[in-house]
Amino acid sequence: MIITRTPFRISFFGGGTDYPVWYRDHGGAVLSTTINKYCYINCRYLPPFFPYKYLMRYIIREETSCIEDIKHPSVRACLQYLNISKGVEMTYTGDVPAQSGMGSSSAFTVSFLNALYALTGKIVTKRTLAREALYVECELLKENVGSQDQVAAAFGGFNKIEFSGDREFYVTPLPLGAVKLKLLESHLMLFFTGISRNASEIAVEQIKKTSSKKIELRTMSVMVDEAITILNRESDDFDDFGRLLNETWKIKRSITELISNSIIDDLYETALKAGALGGKLLGAGGGGFLLLYAKPEKQPLIKEKLKNILYVPFAFESLGTQVLMYTTQDYY
């Protein structure tokens, strides 16, 4: 029996520059962190007492006799990629809903690959898991996804992640120290808008606009280093980080009209009027989670003004994907 745990992520700056169509020629970078919201995968070889070979339980239950009949695209592709011939049972649970901008799909792929490798008795690196999750999603499934989610989920932590070439990536952990990280964390608020969206549809539109949005994407990439400069200051005043979030959100929402809508705009303006200095929608946009930066003393009013949507407390995490439990299993 294997249980893996993989964190979801918050992306602060650089989102959009992690699409291969952009970074192959221009390079890309993001600043992100993983948080203590996770997906969990429970996985084992399925004993041969059932009239099916594969049992998959997530939002639905699947019972099939061959891999090709599995409907969940990532499950099917991972089993095929690793040539798993024995029957498998998999159960998925998550701390946040799918299609919410936290990189949940890629966290699932990373976590399932980690579980399958453990199931077959193999130890693999976080870099391998990130690379292979990228391969599964981009090459096998042909999904319109960026490259940051897989890397963040595998490595964990507060990082600058750079991209170039054919899905090459470089992870630089930011050595901010526990005090600074806690201080930044105390200025961040997370709300769930309740709006689900198809990230792939938004990504397709954004990819189409890439050639005409070079100035915006270059500016968003430069903001990654600007944010790091702010965090590296001796001062414990991070308010410029919040203001920079506001600037990157303005640029991001100008790339395509699918990124925001009137409901999101109203929520964001309400938060600014209540004292937030900046923020952004996480992920491709269109709904999901709203991240805000605000001084701690301003946060009670912001919560009151946004009381109709769910406030979600969180903390940074640094471990990335993990095998939480491994027990040997006799196979018949």
Where would I find the H helices in the chain?
20-26, 73-81, 104-119, 126-134, 148-155, 178-186, 199-208, 214-231, 239-255, 262-273, 299-305
Q: Hunting for tokens 């890397």 — which residue is that?
A: 151
Please give the DSSP secondary-structure letter assigned to residue 46.
Answer: P
Asked if residue 159 lies in contact with residue 26, where contact means CB atoms within 8 angstroms, the answer is no
Which residues, at least 6 apart from 203, have a Cβ–Cβ distance to it below 8 Å? 19, 144, 145, 146, 284
Of 161, 57, 43, 146, give the one whose Cα is nearest residue 103: 146
How many helices (DSSP H) and strands (DSSP E) are in the chain? 11, 13
Q: Is it true that 2-174+318-326 and 178-314 share their CATH fold?
A: no
pLDDT given at position 330: 75
Which residues, at least 6 apart from 92, have a Cβ–Cβ distance to it below 8 Å? 39, 40, 41, 42, 57, 58, 108
CATH 1.10.3720.10 correct for 2-174+318-326 = no
Q: Which CATH architecture has domain 178-314?
A: 2-Layer Sandwich (3.30)
Spatial distance between the Cα atoms of 321 and 156, rounded to a whole number of angstroms: 7
At 147-201, the pLDDT tens digits run 999 999 999 999 999 999 888 999 999 999 999 999 999 999 999 998 875 666 6
| Beta pairing partners, 35 | 316
Please give the DSSP secondary-structure letter assigned to residue 138.
Answer: I
Spatial distance between the Cα atoms of 143 and 28, rounded to a whole number of angstroms: 19
Mean pLDDT by 10 residues, the chain (332 residues): 97 94 94 98 94 96 96 97 95 91 94 97 96 96 92 98 92 94 97 76 69 88 96 92 96 81 92 97 81 98 97 97 91 66
Which residues, at least 6 apart from 168, have a Cβ–Cβ distance to it below 8 Å? none
Which residues, at least 6 apart from 181, have a Cβ–Cβ distance to it below 8 Å? 158, 316
Spatial distance between the Cα atoms of 210 and 284, rounded to a whole number of angstroms: 14
pLDDT given at position 331: 67
Q: Quick one: CA torsion of 45, 48, 49, 50, rounded to 10 degrees?
A: 80
pLDDT given at position 213: 82
pLDDT given at position 98: 83
pLDDT given at position 203: 65
At 124-144, the pLDDT tens digits run 999 999 999 999 999 999 998
- In the chain, what are the domain boundaries? 2-174+318-326, 178-314
Asked if residue 61 lies in contact with residue 46, where contact means CB atoms within 8 angstroms, the answer is no
DSSP per residue over 298-332, as a string? GHHHHHHHTTTSEE----EE---SEEEEE------
pLDDT given at position 101: 85
Of 331, 328, 332, give the one whose Cα is nearest residue 121: 328
pLDDT given at position 283: 77
- The H or E element containing residue 169 is strand 168-173
How many residues appear in the chain? 332
pLDDT given at position 204: 73
Which residues, at least 6 apart from 234, have a Cβ–Cβ distance to it below 8 Å? none
